[in-house]
Structure 1
Amino acid sequence: MLDKDTKTMMGTEDTPRGKASPDPQDLRPSVMHSIKLFVLCHSLLQLAQLMISGYLKSSISTVEKRFGLSSQTSGLLAAFNEVGNTALIVFVSYFGSRVHRPRLIGYGAVLVALAGLLMTLPHFISEPYRYDHTRSEDMPQDFEATLCLPMTSAPALAPSNGSCSSYTEAQHLTVVGIMFLAQTLLGVGSVPIQPFGISYIDDFAHNSNSPLYLGILFAVTTVGPGMAYGLGGLMLRLYVDIDRMPEGGISLTSKDPRWVGAWWLGFLISAGAVAVAATPYFFFPREMPKEKHELHFRRKVLAAAATPTVEGEDPPSEQSPGGSPNKQDGLAQIAPDLTVIQFIKVFPRVLLRTLRHPIFLLVVLSQVCMSSMVAGMATFLPKFLEHQFSITASFANLLIGSLTIPLSIVGIVAGGILVKRLHLGPMRCGVLCLLGALLCLLLGLPLFFIGCSTHRIAGIPRQPGAQPEPGLFPGCMKLCSCPSDHFNPVCNPSARVEYITPCHAGCTSRVIQEALDKSQVFYANCSCVVGGGPVPAGSCDSACGHLVLPFMLLVSLGAALACVTHTPSFMLILRGVKKEDKTLAVGIQFMLTRVLAWMPSPVIHGSAIDTTCVHWALSCGRRAVCRYYDLDLLRNRFIGLQFFFKTGCLFCLILVLAILRQQDKEAGTKATVPSPGLEQRLLESGPEKEPKDSRV
């Protein structure tokens, strides 16, 4: 009987929930029973999932131009990725150990892939992109549509006005609705991927190998956002209708403000990558034998991966399920024994109990402020760079993907190394967070002054929200009958004056200069230009184009310093709550940052950007996309929002340090002032009992 019990205990200690492991002869040798293979597959899946989730941010300005969206609407579209995710993430604790986790991860990944395909649907159901406001059957008249033709009559505007029909508006609403639905499904599909994958690895990996596997997982997946921006940089170089190019080709270049890149192609590639990465999950078992051997190179790789652990605290993977009786009281542990209704009733009480911890609440608020800054920067930084420095969307994405994202990863790793190597306690973790936030704030101050004012645009006032009026245009084009809704900008480089169309510059002819690699379009006989031209097509280049690299260097260094606070802030959260509530506290932290930061921040930044617009494109009487911004106001408000959130983070961390210092003083006072009863017992005790009592 003793031998039988011993065998039973040995069989149950390495499997979750205390179930007896099957006999070796019952386990068929299969490559899918390897936790190392699962770590590899999950790393690739999370990389592809983060790539498809972040791809919209890299092409946000292109989607605005293609479908006539304001920045507020596009920010709301980006935020809808978090709606489905936030609504369901709480129930992961409830369903965590009741389901076939690999299979549910596979279903979620398939849903993510379908959502990516759904995002491409608006491209295929919409008409080809018309950048010149003319119909396809009027191709011979394209070049004359924006020229100064004194004999032009009012019916020439009919094609533009005739396109405003109920069908056009219904098609626009359908396209926008499809994109919002796709973003919601994308959030829903990503719910089970990360939590179930991490718990599956932690359950079946060797206790000593689990931190190494998780470190590898996080290191690989952090490359996903960088790949999203890199993919956006490559795809936006291609014309949007590359699959249905007109016979005569197009006369646009990627520097033209009317250029729209192939935004949809990136979603197609990312969805295919997610679908391929999801396939192995349908063959992994619900449970596999727990890994028996420790990896020999574990310590070396752990030092490189910098998985943060604080001295005196065992990592979660090394704590046995039954090692702590108090841990069984946590919601994450008792969730499998509750019904759905009981889980919903218990969750608010545990949430309020967790939020009563001042350290936890203040650290989460600081992370909310930092996440709000990151969310706004990740969504609209490419668009900001396009307008502020007159660079293409492709180049803006390549700068972010090759500079900002890698330095952010370096910051996260550096924070983990500092916590691990220096064995930082709560007080020093707070000091490290405060220094990182303070230096990030100081590096953001010069950004207010790196940029230029908007160059002069004929007929458009510099007050945001104003529309061009005929009286505001120069008198040299009074006889031209220029349509106000056309957009084909030309630039007079000598005077640095931009005109909305060649017609507004009084140009009557068009000249194409052929070169070996490209052709350049010029407009001549322009009555509003001294000497009559010719003037090149396209917007005027910014006088501050050379400042884009210093600007991005400061932004990237600030992002790296902000990311240094990532690991020590998590350690403060784990030290600020009860031991049995640690698992739930991290879940609550993720939920609050989604609800308070990642959902509202893109909308807030988009609304602030819209308030700086000086000329809106109109579509059927409604505001569509902004064509020109007051660049000084845009810079001050965009960087000002970043400064506001950084200041909020710094203020919360100062309060955290004040509370930690007060707690240290109280603990020191209790340790140095013994109670009278204890002092009396020490005096009455004999010399032989002194060591024992002194130790107490």
Structure 2
Amino acid sequence: SSLHQNEFRSPQNLIVPSASSPVENSLKEPCTTPLSNDTLYSNANSPSDSCVKPLCNAASENKSQGNKGVKYVSSEGDKLECGWGAFTPACLQSFNTPKGVLLFLCVASFLQGMIVNGFINTVITSIERRFDLHSYQSGLIASSYDIAACVCLTFVSYFGGNGHKPRWLGWGVLIMGVGSLVFALPHFTTSPYEVHFSEETGMCSSNQSMQCAESVSILSNYRFVFMLGQFLHGIGATPLYTLGVTYLDENVKSNYSPVYIAVFYTAAILGPAAGYLVGGMFLNIYTEIGKQIDLTPDNTLWVGAWWIGFLGAGAAALLTAIPILGYPRRLPGSQRYIIMRVSEAHQLKDGSHETALDPDFGKTVKDLPRSLLMLLKNPTFIFLCLAGATEATLIAGMSTFGPKFLESQYSLSASEAATLFGYLVVPAGGGGTFLGGFFVNKFKLRCSGIIKLCLLCTVTSLLAVFIFFIHCPNMPMAGVTQMYDQSILLESSLNLTAACNTECDCLREIYSPVCGSDNIMYYSACYAGCKKKSVLDSGKKVWFEEPRCEPSLPPGCLCLFPRFTTSVAVSWRMIPLVLPKEGLSFWFSCFL
């Protein structure tokens, strides 16, 4: 009958009219709105949604207005059960809901943030030390993720947007898990990390030596394995933040969509926080687990168990990909949310935006240039992309160098700085993202209101940038910035050796700076001419004896904390030169 040919049925049996428009038929037939399970709702009982109009209430509307708002979606052959192929057990259907999808996507985004923005930034120094990498090489490792994302972004978003989104998402998470396992692979393919280090190494004594277990030229080649792992991370994470957000938006009511997306991004921001905390904890474990060594985490030759986090996160990603692959192309009952939405997008004067409503548009490669041209003509989209790129630049720089900034300014160890930075990210990133979605839903903000909210938050955050103008002064280093006799040293004549340490046979491989009562920092205790040391209070305090390079200092012991990179001596006792970590200035600067 004409009724069955011209109305939207259930998602399982949706039929697209080919001849007459829904508006024309609405004048002839009763108006109904489809729900799941072959249930039809009339106009009077249609679900309440601020962005969804009834399918046919257009008796008073003209034909052109009706055609502009309708998106025709074919669902012939779509399977709406959750499962893998013919295996669709009933127990899994309870997860076949928007909340179930949100759960697994949050786990995936959490793992991605923990791996890429947490573990990588935490262990990069340990990897440099273990595999003898230069800074530019470790920079290439970190940037391999962005290179892969840029290469795959257009392809994934274009074809994945018209394909089976859960399958694209599942395979992406699977590839990301494989990338984590590849990143941890060099630990198992190299010989054990061994450093022949004695208690007297680093002190002023003759006949010092330190041996490495493997040729550094061979170890540095493992940077290509790390780059491959990061490249796989980038490929796998590309669908997550493009198709994942779209899949959530398509399957929930439009006024609930900001909350779902906010929860999704909150999980993504909490991931790096967990990565810093867990990664810092693993760095306190020696990389060769179970091996007895003389090194401590405070020693510059220490290499922590950087690889454990990647193994655990990679295995978790592989397990998370399994349920995501089982979701259908569209969730049951979601058709009523995508039939008709009030469009707030930029309307092009040439009317090309109406081309995007064609169900056949975007299914072939030849439509890609036209799609890109349509996006470039959308000023709102362009400026949002520029804002996102700027924000990503700031986040990338802050996540990489933020812990190092805390470490240098407050004389924290690497693990302490990473842990503290994780504590700062949790309330700032996670809370801010969640509150953003809450405000959008609470005040019913539309596109213009959301943009104004973003502008307000951005202007407010700019005020905090002035904290970087407050910093501790750099201390002069003997043999680097000035001579041992406190005279100015030319840049071209760097020399760490002086008369007071010429017989010490100091090793440049051991960088553990200390500072004397003359307010001059020394490359190490050896270059300061210290011959002996005594440890008290469970290793927390160390006395360096006979500081021969400090002028007018009587013989005695210097007390210092060797884990701090900057310290100052009062008389012959050395204490850290830091802003007090318990003071108001410390926590206020961290807040900013």
| Common topology (TM > 0.5) | yes
Deviation, 1:392, is: 1.6
Q: Give 1:169's aligned residue.
A: 217
Alignment of 1:599-678 (within 5 A): none
TM-score (norm: length of structure 1): 0.62
**CA-to-aligned-CA distance 1:39-80 (integer Å, 9 cap, x gap):** 322222222222112121233343344444444443443222
Higher relative contact order (CA 8 A, sep 6+): 1
Change (3 A) 1:48 1:318: farther
Query: For residue 543 of structure 1, what is the aligned residue in structure 2?
Result: 577
Tell me the residue number matched to 2:90.
30
Residue 228, structure 1, aligned to residue 275, structure 2: yes
Q: Note the C-alpha offset of 1:192.
A: 2.2
Change in 2 beyond 3 A, CA 1:466/1:121? farther
Q: Which amino acid aligns with 1:230?
A: L
CA contact (8 A) 1:206 1:290 kept: no
Give the match for residue 73 of structure 2: 17
Q: How does 1:465-504 map to 2 (within 5 A)?
A: 466=491, 469-470=494-495, 473-483=497-507, 485-489=508-512, 491=514, 494-504=517-527
- State whether residues 489 and 500 of structure 1, in contact with CA within 8 Å, keep that contact through their aligned partners in structure 2: yes
- Once residues 171 and 275 of structure 2 are traced to their aligned partners in structure 1, the CA distance between those partners, rounded to angstroms, is 23
1:370 to 391, 415, 420: 391
CA distance in 1, matches of 2:577, 2:352: 64
Q: State the alpha-carbon separation in 2 of the partners of residues 400 and 332 from structure 1.
A: 48
**Is contact 1:80-1:184 (8 Å) kept?**
yes
Matched, 1:272 2:315: yes
1:491–1:92 Cα change, 3 Å? closer
Give the equivalent residue in structure 2 for 1:399.
Answer: 420
Q: 1:218 corresponds to which residue?
A: 265
Which deviations, in whole Å up to 9, do the C-alpha atoms of 1:75-106 show, x marking residues without a partner?
44322211111211112343235544333322
Query: Are 1:81 and 2:145 matched, yes or no?
Result: yes
CA 1:82/1:486 → structure 2, altered by over 3 Å: closer, same or farther?
closer
Separation in 1 of the partners of 2:405 and 2:459? 24
Pairwise mapping of residues 488-567 of structure 1 onto structure 2 (< 5 A)?
488-489=511-512, 491=514, 494-508=517-531, 510-513=532-535, 515=537, 517-518=538-539, 521-529=542-550, 530-535=553-558, 536=560, 537=562, 539-541=565-567, 542-546=576-580, 553=587
The residue that corresponds to 1:91 in the other structure is: 155
Structure-2 residue corresponding to 1:459: 479
Q: Distance in 2 between matches of 1:127 and 1:89?
A: 38
Output the CA distance in 2 between the equivalents of 1:122 and 1:204: 42
Residue 43 (structure 2) aligns with: none
Q: Which runs of 5+ in 2 are unaligned?
A: 15-33, 37-71, 483-487, 568-575
Equivalent in the alignment of 1:319: 341
Name the CA distance, whole Å, in 2 between partners of 1:74 and 1:23: 46
| Residue deviations 1:97-117 (CA, integer Å, cap 9, x gap) | 554433332222121111111
Q: 2: CA distance between counterparts of 1:550 and 1:48?
A: 34
RMSD: 4.2
In 2, the alpha carbon distance for the partners of 1:488 and 1:413 equals: 43
8 Å CA contact retained: 2:108, 2:320: yes
What's the TM-score, normalizing by structure 2?
0.72
Q: Does residue 1:353 correspond to 2:377, yes or no? A: yes
Q: Take 2:257 and 2:448, find their aligned partners in 1: how far apart are those partners?
A: 28
Counterpart secondary structure, 1:234: helix
How many Å separate the matches in 1 of 2:515 and 2:258? 61
Alignment of 1:115-134 (within 5 A): 115-129=179-193
Q: 1:281: Cα distance to partner? A: 2.6
Residue 396 of structure 1, CA deviation: 1.6
Cα separation, 1, equivalents of 2:101 and 2:404: 38
Q: Give, in angstroms, the shift of residue 127 of structure 1.
A: 4.5
Whether the 8 Å contact between 2:193 and 2:213 is mirrored in structure 1 is: no
Any conservation in 1 of the 2:513–2:525 contact (CA below 8 Å)? yes
For 1:546, what is the secondary structure of its paired residue? coil
Contact 2:180–2:310 (8 Å) recurs in 1:
yes
Number of corresponding residues: 505
CA-CA distance at 1:556 after TM superposition? 6.0
CA contact (8 A) 1:477 1:506 kept: yes
Separation (CA, whole Å) in 1 of partners of 2:504 and 2:80 = 88
Amino acid at match of 2:189: I
Counterparts of 1:458 and 1:75, CA distance in 2: 30
Shift of 1:402: 1.7
1:478 and 1:351 mapped to 2: Cα distance? Answer: 68
Distance 1:402 1:266, change over 3 A: same
* Contact 2:580–2:586 (8 Å) recurs in 1: no
1:425/1:213 Cα in 2 relative to 1: closer, same or farther (>3 Å)?
closer
Instruction: Note the 1:26-425 alignment, pairs <5 A.
Output: 30-33=90-93, 34-35=96-97, 36-55=99-118, 56-96=120-160, 99-129=163-193, 136=196, 142-149=198-205, 152=207, 167-172=215-220, 174-205=221-252, 213-241=260-288, 243=289, 245=291, 247=292, 249-252=293-296, 254-290=297-333, 319=341, 328-330=354-356, 334-338=360-364, 340=365, 342-354=366-378, 357=379, 360-418=381-439, 421=442
- Matching residue's letter, 1:409: G
Shift of 1:244: 5.2
Offset from partner CA, 1:429-453 (integer Å, 9 cap, x none): 666555433432333224312x322
Give the conservation status (yes or no) of the 8 Å contact 1:208–1:318.
no
Structure with greater helix percent: 1
The alignment-based identity, stated in percent, is 24
Unmatched segments (≥5 aa) in structure 1: 294-314, 559-696
Could you tell me how far apart the structure 2 residues matched to 1:437 and 1:24 are?
Answer: 41
Distance 1:482 1:24 in 2: 71
2-side partners of 1:447 and 1:527: how far apart?
A: 37
Q: Which moved more, 1:44-53 or 1:66-75?
A: 66-75
1:626 match? none
2:544 and 2:358 map into 1 onto residues whose CA distance is: 69
Change (3 A) 1:320 1:360: closer
Name the aligned partner's letter for residue 337 of structure 1. Answer: K
- Supply the distance in 1 between the matched residues of 2:479 and 2:256 (Cα, whole angstroms): 67
Q: Which amino acid aligns with 2:395?
A: V
* Structure-2 change in CA distance of 1:8 and 1:365 (3 Å): closer
Cα displacement (A) at 1:468:
7.1
